[in-house]
Amino acid sequence: MNAELGVTMDSPEVVALAFITFLKSGKTAAHIGWPERFFVWLNKVAPALVSNALEKQLPVVKKYAHHKV
């Protein structure tokens, strides 16, 4: 799904190091990666813009979603 959406992922090692750093920091929140931090900010100032962008990706997401009851 990420390849089809053109989304990159951080390696497990990068995420683990960031998580350990976060745990040691005492902070209540953290955002890893430049695009993610940007979209967090953008969602604060223009949530409709982010919602519209995500809505355009919904058909691809639904293709990969598996709902089990």
| Contacts for 64 with CB less than 8 Å, ≥ 6 apart | 1
pTM reported for the whole predicted model: 0.61
pLDDT value of position 33: 81
Asked if the structure places residue 19 within a domain, the reply is: yes
Residue pLDDT, tens place only, 6-59: 988 889 999 999 999 999 999 998 888 888 889 899 999 999 999 999 999 999
> Is residue 69, in this structure, part of any structural domain at all?
no
Give the C-alpha separation, 39 to 66, whole Å.
Answer: 26
Q: Is residue 55 situated within a structural domain?
A: yes
Q: What is the pLDDT at residue 68?
A: 66
- Asked if residue 35 belongs to a domain, the reply is yes
Q: Give the structural domain span for 31.
A: 2-64
Angle, CA 62 vertex, CA 60 and CA 66 arms, to 5°:
130
For residue 40, tell me if it sits in a domain.
Answer: yes
Q: Is the distance from CB of 40 to CB of 31 less than 8 angstroms?
A: yes
Residue 22 lies inside a defined structural domain of this protein: yes
The number of domains in the chain is 1
